[in-house]
A and B are shown apart, each in its own frame.
Chain A
Amino acid sequence: MAKIYKTSCFLIVLLTLCIYGNAQQNQQCLKCHGQVFYQYDNEWTGKVDKRPMNPFYHIDSVKMHISVHKEFSCTDCHRPDYETFPHSGELRMEEKYACIDCHGGDDNFAKYNFEGIEQAFMESVHFKANDDKFNCWMCHDPHGYQLALRGQESIKDVVSLSNQMCLDCHTNKFKFGLISDEMPKDIAETHNWLPNQPNHFENVRCIDCHTQVQSDLLVSHKILPKEEALKNCVKCHSANSVLMESLYSHRVKESREESGFINAAILNEGYMIGANRNLALNYVSVILFGMLLIGLLIHFILRLTIKNKK
């Protein structure tokens, strides 16, 4: 027992030191990359130069410290040569890791099916149109990625975080320009057919209509061409709402269907015409309506028969 206790203490101390060490090392990088402007001693002129940080290389240190990769050292993923400043020009040729390089083939992540995600990604319109130019990091910021769907966030926050990933490119001509010579289209205009557009944008993820639902993935990664996107209202607005297999799939287990509500997972945090039904009220309304019709029919028949006899 004492041995287990000692080993546990040792591991905790080791982990703490490791995280502390990484934080110290990362601090060196964030001194410049965590700032909008960075400064350095110019050995040629003997002066201190102040330069704007390239927005593509800027890292939000607050987001980084709450992200899923917060315990990593920068050089776990980037070459140690980056510890030297000025960085060598050759380093820009560095090949970046993809998600699957760390998460693939690991039993700890098996339930998230990263292999399935990669397969779906390779069938997505993004990959098909751009091949290797389109990688995981185009959507998932490795320096600030947060888990939303599996966390305790409200559906609105999940939707906001998810949609921001799409909007980061589709409303930003600089990021969009990395893979396209065209300007990004106005999202509001391309979706002007959608009734109550702001409501839909706040409560439904882009991917809920723009991907094919995949039961073996928590979040489908097969982004469809725009022509194949879901445009049929009733696919969502019905008791068998497709959102129950996507946006709400992880909360369906908590459904209070037994207490009389269909799609309780949806109504816990919102309301969707056609998808939320109250079973008790449904039964009561059918019974009342049936009784009314039967009562009136009997009354009508009696009116005809008794009066005719007289």
Chain B
Amino acid sequence: MSEKLFLYPTWLRVWHALNAIFFLVLLITGISMQYSNPNWILVPFDLAVASHNVSGIIILISYLFYLFFFFTTSNRRHYNIVFKELGKRLAMQIRYYVFGVFKNEEAPYPTSWNMKFNPLQQITYVGVMFVLYPVLIITGIALLFPELIIDNFFGIGGTLLTALLHASTGFLVSMFLIIHLYFATMGATFFANFKSIITGYHEVH
């Protein structure tokens, strides 16, 4: 029987579920609008606009919910990046993913109560949650209220720049989503990590 750690409290699992569902809606409707075409309809345009707006607002509220618990619980310990020898630790983790995992080597930074993320995950999650998400949310709010955006920024339309930034950031977060889902299959078993985010218990392997 493998050891189990309670790493995902209820608030985190609720936020994660909301975030997952509505990010998928945003992703599908966002692609549908960006590549809208009369001959190829993923989601009808008006429905895509309405669902994208509503999901964006829900994501914003759930992000604020996440931030509240981030600042008021000990969960934030997982996000404290130690910069000393960070490059070396990142290199070790990358080496493990590229070679070690195939040789059944021990993970260099296994999940523990104090640190659920390895250095690579930590950098990525901090980047996504505290850089990419705020950019997505701020540009999303601006596009929801385009009258807030300056008309012209050094000869280029302000709305165009905001939309480019929003779509590009959305693309990066979508890349993260694919990587996140793939790495979730590398738990104790193929589905172990998927179960963890439902039950709250992480199975150590």
Which partner residue on chain A sits nearest B52 by CB separation?
A273
The docked-state distance in angstroms from the alpha carbon of A9 to that of B186 is 89
With A302-B102, A310-B104 in contact, is A296–B182 under 8 Å at CB? yes
Least CB distance from B88 to A in Å reads 23
Query: CB within 8 Å of B: which residues of A?
Result: 195-196, 199, 232-235, 237-240, 267-271, 273-274, 276-278, 281, 285, 288-289, 292-293, 296, 299-300, 302-303, 306-307, 310
CA distance A232 to B146 in the complex (A): 22
Per-residue A-contact encoding for B78-109, CB less than 8 Å = 1, 0 else: 00000000000000000001000111100000
Chain A residue nearest to B97 (CB atoms) is A299
| Minimal beta-carbon separation of B78 from chain A (angstroms) | 24
In the complex, B46 has a CB within 8 A of chain A: yes
Q: Are A233 and B46 in contact (CB under 8 A)?
A: yes
- Which of B37, B41, B103, B146 is the one whose CB lies under 8 Å from A239? B37
Chain B residues with CB under 8 A of A277: 34-35
Most A CB within 10 A of own CB, among B35, B36, B41, B182: B36
Contact A303 B49 (CB under 8 A): no
Q: Which residues does chain B contribute within 8 Å of A239, judged by CB atoms?
A: 37
A232 to B164, CA, bound (A): 24
Chain B hits for A288, CB < 8 A? 175
Other than A237-B45, A238-B38, give 13 A-B pairs with Cβ distance below 8 A.
Answer: A195-B46, A196-B146, A233-B36, A240-B37, A271-B157, A271-B159, A274-B34, A278-B164, A292-B178, A292-B179, A299-B182, A302-B102, A310-B104
**Chain B residue nearest in CB terms to A288:** B175
Q: Could you tell me the distance between the alpha carbons of A289 and B101 in the complex, rounded to whole angstroms?
A: 23
In residues 9-52 of chain B, which contact A (Cβ within 8 Å)?
33-38, 41, 45-46, 49-50
